[in-house]
Amino acid sequence: MITLKSPREIQEMAKSGAILAGMHIGLRKIIKPGISSWEIEKFARKHFEEHDAIAEQIGFEGYKYATCVSVNDEICHGFPRKNLILKDGDLIKVDTVVNYHGAMSDSCWSYVVGKSTPEIDRLMKVTKDALYLGIDQAQVGNRIGDIGAAIQHYTEEVNNYGDVREFIGHGIGPTMHESPNVPHYGQAGKGLRLRPGMTITIEPMINVGTWKAVMDDPNGWTARTADGSFSCQYEHTLAITEDGPKILTSQDPERDQKYLLA
């Protein structure tokens, strides 16, 4: 079921999104060579507790952690691990969902540990740019396929990367995952028409190599690239409004100025 949110409900989701964005901003000082990925989990839990928010992922279908911390060829749903020590050149994706007094927000961000490489820098830039190309298509009257087509064209045809098919964006609020599905591939002019009050996530997962994923991890959750290539992801929660898409999880008010709620 698709739920259309009132302006008040969207404002509450923006409060949740600000807490989540603050956690991601804080991680910029935390993520460095020599720490374990468990330190990311500890930081997120403390941040949410201090802001009277709930880590909504804990307990979801048996998942035990506040964050997903996926490294290098892990596409998504990586576990935070005490025995995984981060090193220079690791590409980290941190994904989490926040519940603030019933209002949901969902965002993933990518970080490079220590010294980067030109290849990682390019992958991160293309993935983030793809996210914003998708957001620009999230206009009242457009269709879901317009979002996916813009992302797929830019990542696969222009940049020769793999655009993951197995994991997609979704509606959000009042539950963590709800309709509509928001693929990051597809045909322009196809799919559900976007309406004011819809709240969705756009979260492209882009691989250096093939778009295909494998699910062979013993934990039953973590997805990896089928060819072992690096994967990157960025995700925002946004509201569809008559004034255009509004990002509810912004970390950069200057870049996102035209996407922010009044």
From the annotation, which residues make up the binding site for a divalent metal cation? Answer: 95, 106, 170, 203, 235
For the beta carbon of residue 186, count every other beta carbon within 10 angstroms: 21
Feature table: binding site: 77, 95, 106, 170, 177, 203, 235
Pairing of strands 199-202, 236-241: antiparallel
Cis peptide preceding 174, ω within 30 of 0: yes
Feature table: binding site for substrate: 77, 177
Own/partner contacts of 6-9, CB < 8 Å, gap of 24 or more, are 6/197, 9/103, 9/173
Per-position b or e across 162-180, b if 16+ CB within 10 A of its CB: bbbbebbbbbbbeebebeb
Provide the phi-psi class of 178: left if phi over 0, else alpha when psi is between -120 and 50, else beta.
Answer: beta
Which tokens is 229 given? 């290539």
- What amino acid is encoded at 90 in this protein? D
Contact 75, 123 (CB under 8 A): no
Q: What is the distance between the alpha carbons of residues 25 and 186, in angstroms, rounded to a whole number?
A: 32
DSSP reduced 3-state for 195: coil
Q: What is the distance between the alpha carbons of residues 31 and 25, in angstroms, rounded to a whole number?
A: 11
Unique residue bearing structure tokens 């330190």 = 39
